[in-house]
């Protein structure tokens, strides 16, 4: 029995050194070799500095809106809602979001509302929307900011990101930062 206890203690100590110290130290050293020293890229929107790759709430008409978040954009609690597509609460939430989109975009019909403007991502923190979701917001943002439709569309195009396969996506944080830079 004693022999097993000491063996388990040694294995615990070795695991601690390997996984808590050596692994963490290795990741930290590698991060220091990156251009931003392991710090996340940040952008400034409306005078507030935010992380580029963590979704933020934008509900003012002068900004592009992000995907909704099931965790209120709290990076410490990243998660989906875990409600199925037939859950009455979920359906009511999505319908309320559709109604809000339609109020702020009177030129849209219900069937034209992109799903990513009314449904949360799996993590609740995705800063990206589809090109379609950005396109339906261009008119509202342009009117609210007193900019031309073409100028706002050009900023949308400038903030496109792609990952090799699949459609291009728009980082809302980057796009809204570009909007603020343009107005100054």
Query: pLDDT of 55-102, one tens digit each?
Result: 888 989 999 999 998 888 887 777 777 888 899 999 999 999 999 999
Give the pLDDT score at 151: 95
Q: Kindly report the average pLDDT of the chain as a whole number.
A: 88
Res. 164: pLDDT tops 80: no
Residues 35 and 51 both lie in one domain: no
The SS3 of residue 154 is helix
Mean pLDDT of 96-115: 95
> Are residues 80 and 144 both part of a single domain?
yes
* Alpha carbon 37 to chain centroid, angstroms: 22
For residue 70, the model assigns a pLDDT of 84
**Whether residue 72 is found in the same domain as residue 150:** yes
35 with 45, same domain: the answer is: no
- Whether residue 117 is found in the same domain as residue 142: yes
Q: In the chain, pLDDT over 90 holds for what percent of residues?
A: 47
Could you tell me what percentage of the chain is helix, strand and coil, using 3-state DSSP and rounding each to the nearest 5?
50, 10, 40
Query: Total domain count for the chain?
Result: 2
Contact 105, 140 (CB under 8 A): yes
The two structure tokens encoding residue 148: 């031309």
Instruction: Give me the phi and psi of 106, to 5 degrees please.
Output: -65, -15
Examine the domain organization and report whether 135 and 70 are in the same domain.
Answer: yes
Claim to verify: residue 60 and residue 5 sit in the same structural domain: no
Q: How many CB atoms lie within 10 A of CB 14?
A: 10
Model confidence at 183: pLDDT above 70 = no
Same domain, 8 and 92: no
Instruction: Return the closest-CA partner of residue 113 out of 126, 128, 100, 127.
Output: 100
Q: Are residues 83 and 113 in the same domain?
A: yes
Written as six digits, the tokens of 68 are 């909704």
Structure token pair of residue 91: 């359906």
> How many other CB atoms sit within 10 Å of the CB of residue 73?
20
131 and 172 both lie in a single domain? yes
Query: Where are the extended beta strands (E) located within the chain?
Result: 42-45, 48-51, 128-130, 160-161, 169-171
According to DSSP, the β-strands at 48-51 and 160-161 are unpaired
Buried b (16+ CB within 10 A) or exposed e, 119-158: bbbebbbbbbbbeebbebbbbbbbeebebeeeebbebbee
The boundaries of the domain holding residue 52 are: 41-183
179 confidence band (pLDDT: 50, 70, 90): very high
Residue 41 confidence (pLDDT) above 80 = no
The Cα–Cα gap between 180 and 159 comes to 13
* Domain co-membership, 52 together with 26: no
pTM for the full predicted model: 0.77
Say whether both 16 and 67 belong to one domain. no
């Amino acid at each position: 029995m004693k022999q097993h206890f000491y063996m388990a203690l040694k294995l615990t100590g070795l695991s601690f050194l390997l996984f808590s110290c050596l692994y963490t130290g290795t990741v930290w050293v590698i991060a220091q070799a990156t251009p931003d020293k392991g710090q996340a890229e940040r952008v400034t929107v409306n005078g507030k500095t935010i992380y580029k790759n963590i979704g933020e709430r934008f509900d003012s008409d002068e900004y592009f809106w992000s995907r909704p978040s099931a965790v209120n954009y709290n990076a410490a609690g990243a998660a989906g809602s875990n409600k199925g597509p037939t859950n009455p609460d979920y359906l009511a939430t999505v319908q309320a979001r559709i109604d809000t989109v339609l109020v702020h975009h009177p030129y849209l019909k219900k069937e034209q509302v992109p799903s990513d403007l009314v449904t949360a991502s799996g993590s609740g923190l995705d800063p990206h929307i589809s090109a379609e979701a950005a396109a339906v917001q261009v008119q509202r943002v342009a009117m609210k900011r007193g900019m031309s439709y073409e100028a706002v569309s050009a900023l949308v195009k400038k903030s496109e990101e792609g990952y090799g396969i699949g459609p291009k996506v728009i980082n809302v944080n980057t796009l809204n930062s570009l909007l603020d830079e343009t107005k100054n």
